[in-house]
Amino acid sequence: MVSKSFRAAINEALKLEMRRDKTIIVLGEDVAGGRGGSANVEEAWGGPFGMTRGLYKEFGPTRVLDTPITESAFVGATAGAAMTGLRPVAEVMFVDFTGVCFDQIMNQIAKIRYMFGGKAKLPLVIRMLYGAGYRAGAQHSQCLYPIYTHLPGLKVAIPSNPYDAKGLLIAAIRDDDPVLFFEHKAILGMKGEVPDEAYEVPLGKANIVRAGKDVTVVAIGRMVHMAEKAAAALAKEGIDCEVIDPRTTSPLDTAAILASVRKTGRLVAVDEAYPRCNMATDISALAAQEAFSSLRAPVRMVSPPHVPVPFAAPLEDLYIPNADKVAEAVRATVKYTPSS
């Protein structure tokens, strides 16, 4: 196997799927780039982060469509196109920008199938960058996947590594339901083993990143790496963590999470999203309701404080959950005794 970056894995998944199925189109702001500019190039950027570079050259203007800055129109268009025979993959540069097309996602894409009594299929994917750590400020650093996880009718994929990025994206493109696909901007350069051929990582199947017996640590997206780092440190202290990456928050692999919590009796839920109504609270509630008698300590949540993402580097570093905070929470659950 070859080591590839997260970015390359995404790019490869798009290319392989577009070669396989001619109804797949890619659309978004600057997905080719350079249209109408003074340099007169056909393909300039492949998106500001280069995620779609090379697609325009191979698949041309009918399948790789630059859009004006117009999220409502082109995200809504994915629904209309998906209902009528195409399989669109849209790129909304940053998840923060879905504020302007929220209606199309929430009221149209998520509900059309149900409102139509199952008579519509919406095979579409919306790819978005998310997450803090880029010194990008409050409007380019959010997670927001809890909002979309909240909405029935949507699937939500949040790969934590290049292998999953490729496999989950291929699964998302082949899926007949709308999938919101989250790519953390701080791990785009991260490398990992990625097979050259097409493969699927199924939506709704968690990954046991590290097996352990003392504490279950559920972490999402970039936070998986914080959890792994914490687990490595804690192992030296004799604390054996089981790290679970749900990979998708909708559907959520509740069975894998609950099986682990029943085994370890302790849960730490790690989520980079704002702390109210995020995936950590959701997973904690799941454990409280379904595995209460197995719990030997109160569930702990590791999330940022309830503030917008700050710009200044020391503040942003303080904001983002890290391995130390995860380790601290794990230690607290291990040390807990009912009388304490």
Q: How many CB atoms lie within 10 A of CB 305?
A: 9
> Quick one: 12 or 43, whose CB is closer to other proteins?
43
Write down the catalytic residue from 140, 150, 184, 306. Answer: 140
The DSSP output letter for 196 is: S
Cβ atoms of residues 53 and 46 within 8 Å: yes
**Of 78-86, 128-136, 229-237, 275-283, which segment contacts other proteins by CB under 8 A?**
78-86
Q: List the end-to-end C-alpha distance of the chain, in Å, as a whole number.
A: 50
Query: Is 251 one of the binding residues for other proteins (CB under 8 A)?
Result: yes
Cβ atoms of residues 246 and 202 within 8 Å: no
Residues in 269-298 that interact with other proteins by CB under 8 A: none
Among the listed residues 41, 58, 99, 114, the single contact to other proteins using CB under 8 A: 114
> Quick one: 114 or 311, whose CB is closer to other proteins?
114
Q: What share of the chain is helix, strand, coil (3-state, %, to 5)?
A: 40, 20, 40
Among the listed residues 11, 52, 78, 149, the single contact to other proteins using CB under 8 A: 78
Does the annotation count 140 as an active-site position? yes
Cβ atoms of residues 66 and 76 within 8 Å: no
Tell me phi and psi for residue 181, to 5 degrees: -120, 115
**Of 85-93, 184-192, 259-267, 295-303, which segment contacts other proteins by CB under 8 A?**
85-93
For helices 6-20 and 162-174, give the axis angle rounded to 10 degrees: 30
> Quick one: 79 or 302, whose CB is closer to other proteins?
79
Give me the 48-77 binding string for other proteins, x by CB under 8 A, dash otherwise: --------------xx-x-xx-x-xxxxxx
Nearest to 220 by CA among 187, 249, 180: 249
The least distance separating other proteins from the CB of residue 173, rounded to whole angstroms, comes to 13
Please give the radius of gyration of the chain, using alpha carbons only, rounded to the nearest integer. 20
**Of 6-14, 84-92, 130-138, 189-197, which segment contacts other proteins by CB under 8 A?**
84-92
The least distance separating other proteins from the CB of residue 65, rounded to whole angstroms, comes to 7
Q: Which helix (H) or strand (E) holds 119?
A: none
Among the listed residues 9, 14, 18, 81, the single contact to other proteins using CB under 8 A: 81
The least distance separating other proteins from the CB of residue 137, rounded to whole angstroms, comes to 24
Among the listed residues 18, 32, 55, 79, the single contact to other proteins using CB under 8 A: 79
> Tokens representing 308?
């917008």
**Of 169-177, 181-189, 209-217, 288-296, which segment contacts other proteins by CB under 8 A?**
169-177
> Quick one: 153 or 192, whose CB is closer to other proteins?
153
Place of tokens 């117009």: 70
Collect all residues with Cβ–Cβ distance below 8 Å to 253 and sequence separation of at least 6: 204, 205, 206, 246, 247
Residues in 116-135 that interact with other proteins by CB under 8 A: 116-123
Residues in 11-50 that interact with other proteins by CB under 8 A: 23, 25
Among the listed residues 33, 153, 159, 310, the single contact to other proteins using CB under 8 A: 153
Q: How many CB atoms lie within 10 A of CB 290?
A: 15
Provide DSSP, 256-286.
Answer: HHHHHHHHHS-EEEE-SS-STTSHHHHHHHH
Give me the 170-209 binding string for other proteins, x by CB under 8 A, dash otherwise: -----xxx--------------------------------
Query: Cα(247)–Cα(244) distance, rounded to whole angstroms?
Result: 9
Cβ atoms of residues 168 and 159 within 8 Å: yes
Among the listed residues 10, 55, 64, 112, the single contact to other proteins using CB under 8 A: 112
| Residues assigned a catalytic role | 140
Contacts to other proteins by CB under 8 A: 23, 25, 62-63, 65, 67-68, 70, 72-86, 88, 100, 103-104, 107-108, 112-123, 152-153, 155, 175-177, 251
